[in-house]
Structure formats: structure tokens, C-alpha cells
Amino acid sequence: MSRTTKPLVADDVEIVRRVLAHVDGGTTDEGTAWREPVENYLNPHRFTQELQLLRAMPSVFVPSATIPNKGDHVERVTFGVPLFAVRGPDQRARVFRNACRHRGFALVEDAGCSHALVCRYHGWTYRLDGSLSHVPHAHAFPDLDMSTRGLIEVPSYEADGLIVIGAIDSGGACVPQPDADAATAWLTNGTAWRDQLLPIDRVLSVETNRLAINWKVIVEQFLEGYHIRWTHRETLPDLYDNLTVVETFGPNSRVTFPYPAIEELRDRPESTWPGRVPATYVYQLFPNVILGAFPQLVQVIVVDPVDVAHSEVIYYTMTRADIANKIPLDAEELPDPAEVARYITGVVAEDNEMSSGVQRGFRAGANKFVEFGRHESAIGHFHANLGDRLAQFAATQPQAPR
């Protein structure tokens, strides 16, 4: 897919029009219903296939705002592989396998900022571009060629506020061309989320939770509004019941969750609507990342599969410096983003509780498949793309000898 200026999703004016039409008609966006076999959430062999696919295709690594300055670095285990990103003196973000080339010790153990990357086991030192610059007592390694012992880089691309990595599989498996190029393009063309993410320059918090939930169940919880009245009856009592706008672009999707205040725009000229829509935009960036754009802040949520029944979820909560410093915007004071973040954390905790219940329910043996209705079509879109890619990936892999 070539980079294009053609909008991938509707603009704010069109979103408001669609929401108000749904309010008036008592409707919501609907698509295709989907049935997903319960076995696909429980089968370890299926999980292994998914993990192999995920390691062989592009994915979002971290938001750019996590490493804004020279020397900033952040680490994350990605599909079971320890990696880290660092911003070099040329302002380029690079991603490396998180292992010293001497004994394999994890070079980066936490977020931070450094002039050089020094292994705290034996002191091997690397420049910010990954090249090896110093080995203590180097005479003890007579065959060491320092020019070839730099850190192992993973292909990466930075665009529109995200750092995206290419395949990290080390076993020779990879998504064939042109599929890999297309998958990368859908993550590096940020036409759909650029306006939401590029102004972000302040990280409020980074939190990691390990949950006893299959990774796909966690992705699903962000992609429909059907559950709001029942799951969030106390935390979101005024939000519309089952009213969303669902859009897809490539394997990705965007679900708009409007607030009742959107009806106040009826009396305002459409020219005043852009940038002021009372709604949450939730982007599912295939395969495993959720970007939630709220009026005061943005969350990038990475769902990292651990095993068939466990996931690690990382929440990057970010905002703009002027909002974080409580500078009024357009003479209108916004709520403290830290307070908003705490509120969102409570809402997500309720979602996780429901997902945990779903995971337990799989074991009851009551259902052969999970039933997703037409108002949950973004979930069906996710599963359809995952299933298609699994089938294509399996067809390109060498068959084991019999």
C-alpha cells in the first residue's frame, strides 16, 4: 500500500453526523456477525501458530513519546523476545535485541537515558547506534572483531508517533512479500490517527499487568460498546448504550464511542466541530495494539501474548505538555489528565474482570463458539484478518519431513 493523503477514516464532521443520526434513529453501526471457535482460545498448538505469525510480521513496539531525546531508551519483551529501543544522536530511533554480545546479559533493564549503553555484568560498552566501542581487557579476546560484534538490530520504522518493528523471528520464518510490505504500510501510514498522536509529547505513566486471559479476549474488550450499560453501569452511567461508529482500514479498525455532550453540537456550526468531538476514538492496530484517544490524553495499550491463557498488557498513558501543565485551551479549562487517567484505569479494570470471566467460562464446555453480533463487527474483522494471515503463513512454511 502506498502512502496516501486520502482519509482512511471519516473526519470529525462526518463522525458527528453519523452519531447524531444514530441518536435520532435509536441505531448503531452494524456489520457482519462472526462466530469464533472456543478451541481457538484454548488450543496450545493454535497459540504456537499465532506466536510464530506475530514474530514474523510487523507490529507496533512503543510510542515515540517514550524516547523523545538523544540517549533515551526503553525495553519490552515482544512476543517472548526481549528488545529495546534507543534514540541516537542523529535523532533516529533504533530497536535492538536486548542482549550483550559477550554473555547475553540484558543490556537495558529499565527505561532511562544514557550517553552509551554499558553492560553492568562485564562493562562491554556500545554506542547509541549499537556499535561496540569498548571491551575491558580486550587482549583476552584475541579473535574478537569489534566491528562485527555490535548489537543485533531489528528492522524498525518511526512514523506518526509510533515505532514499528519488522519481523523478529530468528528461525527463518517470515511473512512473504508483498504481504510484509503491506502489513508495514498499514502501521506506518498514520493518516487515521496522526492528528490524535502527533501532538502527544508527555508520558504520564507506564503500567504493566500480567493477566490470566488469552490475548485475543483482551483485544476484543476494546472493540464494542454492547457491554457498556452492564459492565460500566456505575463508572459510565451516562454513556450511550450500544452506540458506536465502526470503521475498518486494512486489517485495522477504529471504533468511536461518543459522549452525550455530542448532542450539544447540533446548535453549533459544523465549522466548529473539528477537534472538539466529545468522544473516545479507539484504534485497533493489527495485530495486538490498541490506541485510545480521549479528549485529554492518549493511551497506547500493547497486548503481548505469554501463553495460551496468559498475557502481559502494557499501558502507555500520554498527553500534551500544555494539558499536563493545566494551561487552558481556547479559554476552556480541561480536567486534570492524571485524574482522567485514574478514572480510565478503573474502567479498564472492569473490562479485565469481564475478560477474566470469559476465560474461565471457556473451560465450562458450554459453547463450541463465541457469538459476536453485527454490532460487534470490529471483533469479527480482527478475527477474520488473523485467520486469513495464519492460513497464508502456514501455506508458505516448509513442511516437516515425515
The neighbouring-strand residues paired with 154 are: 95
The whole-number pLDDT of residue 1 equals 41
Q: pLDDT-derived band of residue 329, with 50, 70 and 90 as boundaries?
A: very low
User: Residues 125-150: pLDDT tens digits?
Assistant: 999 999 999 999 999 999 999 999 99
Q: Could you tell me if 273 and 12 are in contact, meaning their C-beta atoms sit under 8 angstroms apart?
A: yes
Give residue-wise pLDDT tens across range 73-90: 999 999 999 999 999 999
Residue 250 has pLDDT above 60, yes or no: yes
Whole-number pLDDT of residue 176: 66
Task: Read off the pLDDT of each residue in 191-198 and give the average, rounded to a whole number.
Answer: 93
pLDDT of residue 171: 57
pLDDT at 169: 84
pLDDT at 47 over 60: yes
| SS3 track for the chain | CCCCCCCCCCCHHHHHHHHHHHHHHCCCCCCCCEEEECHHHHCHHHHHHHHHHHHCCCEEEEEHHHCCCCCEEEEEEECCEEEEEEECCCCCEEEEECCCCCCCCCCCCCCEECCCEECCCCCCEECCCCCEEECCCHHHCCCCCHHHCCCCEECEEEECCEEEECCCCCCCCCCCCCHHHHHHHHHHCHHHCHHHHCCCCEEEEEEEEEECCCHHHHHHCCCCCCCHHHHCCCCCCCCCCCCCEEEEECCEEEEEEECHHHHHHHHCCHHHCCCCCCEEEEEEECCCEEEEECCCCEEEEEEEEEECCEEEEEEEEEECHHHHCCCCECCECCCCHHHHHHHHHHHHHHHHHHHHHHHHHHCCCCCCEEEECHHHHHHHHHHHHHHHHHHHHHHHCCCCCC
Cα separation, 402 vs 390, whole angstroms:
22
Percentage with pLDDT > 90 across the chain: 85
Q: Tell me: the pLDDT tens digits for 284-307?
A: 999 999 999 998 899 999 999 999
Find out whether 337 and 296 touch, Cβ atoms under 8 Å: yes
Indicate the pLDDT class of residue 326, thresholds 50, 70 and 90.
Answer: low
Cα–Cα distance for residue pair 345/339, rounded to 1 Å: 10
pLDDT > 60? residue 21? yes
Express each pLDDT in 90-112 by its tens digit: 999 999 999 999 999 999 999 99
Nearest to 216 by CA among 382, 378, 346, 351: 382
Domain ranges of the chain: 12-52+193-393, 59-166
Q: Is the pLDDT score of 186 beyond 60? A: yes
- The CATH T-level fold of domain 59-166 is Rieske Iron-sulfur Protein (2.102.10)
What would the mean pLDDT of 308-313 be, rounded to a whole number? Answer: 98
Mean pLDDT for the chain overall: 93
12-52+193-393 against 59-166: fold identical: no
**pLDDT, average across residues 209-234:** 97
**pLDDT band (50, 70, 90) for residue 174:** low
178-198 average pLDDT score: 90
Range 12-52+193-393 has CATH code 1.10.10.60: no
For residue 330, the model assigns a pLDDT of: 44
The answer, yes or no, to whether residue 402 has pLDDT greater than 70, is no
